[in-house]
Every structure is written in C-alpha cells, then in structure tokens.
Amino acid sequence: MRTEEAHHQSMTTTAGPAHAAEPTASSTPRPHAAEPTTGEFGREEVLLASRNHAMPLELLRWERTPAGMHFLVMHWDVPMVDPVAWRLKIGGAVVEPAEFSLADLRARDRMSMGVTLECAGNGRSLLQPRPVSQPWVHGGVSTAEWTGIPLVALMDETGLRPDAVELVFSGADRGFQGGVAHAYERSLPVRAAVSGDVLLAYEMNGQPLLPQHGFPLRLVVPGWYGMASVKWLDRIDAVTQAFEGFQQRFAYRLQQDADDPGEPVTRIRVRSLMAPPGIPDFFSRRPIVPAGATKLRGRAWSGYGLIKSVQVGIDGRWLPAQLDEQDGRHAWRGWSCVWQAEEGDHELICRAEDDAGNIQPLEPEWNYQGMANNAVQRLQVTVLPSVSDGTALP
C-alpha cells in the first residue's frame, strides 16, 4: 500500500516505538535511507564508497583478483572474531544439530574454485534517478579462488528434516537498517543450498580469509549476486517456512517503488566489462589511446549459464570478440578484440550473451533499489596520433 509517509520518512530516525521491530503495511522498513535522486552525491554515499571499495577496472586483466583489490561490501562494521573460540553452529530443522571448530572444518576434504562475485547494486549510480546507497559505477565485481568445504558435506552429516524448506545463514555482524537492528542473515532454498557448488570458504586465493572478506568462514554461492554469500558465518539454521529477515524480505528486491513488495534478487544477470585501454587522464579517468592496432580485453559472466559470445561496439559498429578458455563453471570468461583505433573521440561498448539466451540490454532497466543493472558498459575514449612522454591533451 502506498502511504503519505513513504515519501518523506527517514531510515536513520525511528518512526515511532510501535514501528521499531514489527513492520506493518504502513511502515514497511526501507533498505535505503532516501528516495532516488538526480542530485549530487551526498556525504553518506561518499563515506560508504570509501569503506566499500570497487575493483579498479584495469584488474579485469587478472584472471583472479588479488585479495586487496577484490571489491568489498560491509553493511556495518567488520566484526572481530576469535578463531579459537569461534564455532559454526548448525541447528533448526536438522536431524543432528552440531558445532564445528575451524580446525574441524580445515581437517576435512577441501575444494577450491574460481568464483565471480558481483554486488547486486553494481551499476546503481548509472541509473536515472539514482537510488541513494552504495554508489557503484562498474567495479562491484571480482573473481577469487575460494577454498573450503562443500556445504552439502556438512548438511549430509547433520541431516535435514523432511519439512525443512530453507537454510538461513547468519553472520556475526550486526547493525541497523530500515530502522531495525539485526544480524546479517540470508536464506537459500534447500535445493539451491545443497545441490550446486555452494562452498563454506576459509581461504581466498590460497590465504586465510582477510577480516573484511569474512574471516574465519564465509559462504560462497556461485552464480548468485553477492548478498547471498554471507561473511563471518557462525550459524546455519534449517527452517520450515520461508525466511522473512530484513535482508531477505525488504533488501534485495526488484521494486518499482518503495511500497512494491517486488521480486527477490537471486542470480547474476549476464554482463561484460572492458579493461580500460591506453593510459588514463588522472582526474577524468578518460582513457587516451595511441592510434593503430589496440587489443581490447575484458571479462564476461552470467549466473544463468556459460558465456556464449561477446560483441564489441565501436561507434555503433559491432565486432565479435575472441573468447578465452572457459575457466570452471563459476568464474568469468576472458575476451579480447583488436581495434584499429583512429584519431578522435570514440564510444566503446561490450555486450555479452550467455548460453541460456540472455543478452545484456543496451539501456538499464530501472528499479527502486538499483539492483541487477546489467546494461552494457559505455566507455568514452580519446585516440591521439601517438602518445609519448610530453604529449599534451588537445
């Protein structure tokens, strides 16, 4: 239901005592603190963006993103977890509730895989009007090598009661969002959680997880937007009804307006990005490229299948890109294309298609939270006759 309140309420102040914990139709908690805007970036957005950094797009040249360059999202504070006292507790609708220490988990058969994680809000700031939240441009995506144990291995030990419908994953971090205090919790349908390659990861790129990426243990859900991959994991509960926590029910929804219950955000939509060619101008970051043959490189991924093709658009003319070898089922796929760059200003676009028949839209599909924007990247570049030390911009 639409209400007057919806248009001028603030998330950082409490609406009223009766509204604090039990949301009603007239006080639906809002994941974002302000209405979408066409205005300038605010102080809160700048602060969020400096805590939750992007992967610089030149890192698209790397098959695996170095840990310190992997994009980062923390809703609240990084929790300090004592790895000796820490236990993973599995309970709820299971046959045998159990607790595991980090040493228990590390002693089991390990599995490693390259997984592309992308934040569901990646591309948010390119929408008009712009939802006010973490103001991603393109860099909310990275690919690390994750090592741990398959979730299904532990669930086989604890067993699941036949009435279990979802698993709820809880992180050790807590905060307020939508005016409600809660731990970061997300659920997956039982089938998605125990089929697939869902991993309980304790290493990233061969090293113990860094504090900001979920030390000592995190979930990695290949193919799903990043919100599913709960960090600082300390509980898994099997539940017999759909989970209604804030991060499930109100955040990560494809909504048309604040009161639209919306559809849940799940898998990663097909997308490609290009590493910037040439060398950048410091302040504008515009790429400056010398005339002649230039190799354009990038990566493409999809949570719905494998990448089938990538096209590169140069001033509106499409060229097919060459695809690198597919690297596992869950890591992005490299692509390249040779461009005969001619002097002047140009627009470069890349557009991927997956083997489920999904193709990137040319224009973003707007939604209220700025989720899952997989529109093509448009890169404005300048080609000069040559570029050497001392070359001046025109």
Q: Is 271 in the site for ligand MTE (CB under 6 A)?
A: no
Give SS3 for 25.
helix
CB-nearer residue toward ligand MTE: 45 or 173 = 173
Q: Which of 54, 57, 59, 71 binds ligand MTE (CB under 6 A)?
A: 71
Q: Which of 75, 130, 308, 333 binds ligand MTE (CB under 6 A)?
A: 75
Q: Which of 119, 149, 341, 371 binds Mo ion (CB under 5 A)?
A: 119
CB-nearer residue toward ligand MTE: 176 or 387 = 176
Cβ neighbours for 81, distance < 8 A, ≥ 6 positions apart: 172, 215, 216, 232, 234
Residues 110-149 that bind ligand MTE (CB under 6 A): 117, 119
Q: Is 202 in the site for ligand MTE (CB under 6 A)?
A: no
Whether residue 258 contacts residue 28, with contact meaning beta carbons closer than 8 Å, is answered with: yes
CB-nearer residue toward ligand MTE: 70 or 330 = 70
Q: Is 30 in the site for ligand MTE (CB under 6 A)?
A: no
- 123 Ramachandran zone, left/alpha/beta (phi>0; psi -120 to 50): left
Q: Sheet containing 233-239: which strands, arranged edge to edge?
A: 98-100, 88-92, 233-239, 166-177, 180-189
Q: Is 171 in the site for ligand MTE (CB under 6 A)?
A: yes
Q: How far is the CB of 73 from Mo ion (least distance, A)?
A: 4
Q: How far is the CB of 86 from ligand MTE (least distance, A)?
A: 14
CA 268/CA 303 separation, integer angstroms:
4
Strand 287-290 to strand 377-384: parallel, antiparallel, or no bridges (unpaired)? parallel
Q: Rounding to the nearest 10 degrees, give the CA dihedral for residues 26, 120, 73, 223.
A: 130
CA 148/CA 111 separation, integer angstroms:
6
Residues 356-385 that bind ligand MTE (CB under 6 A): none
Asked if the peptide bond before residue 216 counts as cis, ω within 30 degrees of 0, the response is yes
CA 332/CA 324 separation, integer angstroms:
10
Q: Which of 55, 73, 151, 307 binds Mo ion (CB under 5 A)?
A: 73
Q: Is 216 in the site for ligand MTE (CB under 6 A)?
A: no
CB-nearer residue toward ligand MTE: 70 or 351 = 70
Q: How far is the CB of 266 from Mo ion (least distance, A)?
A: 13
Which residues sit at the interface with Mo ion, rule CB under 5 A? 73, 119, 226-227
Q: Which chain residues interact with ligand MTE by CB under 6 A?
A: 70-75, 117, 119, 171, 173, 184, 213, 226-227, 229-232
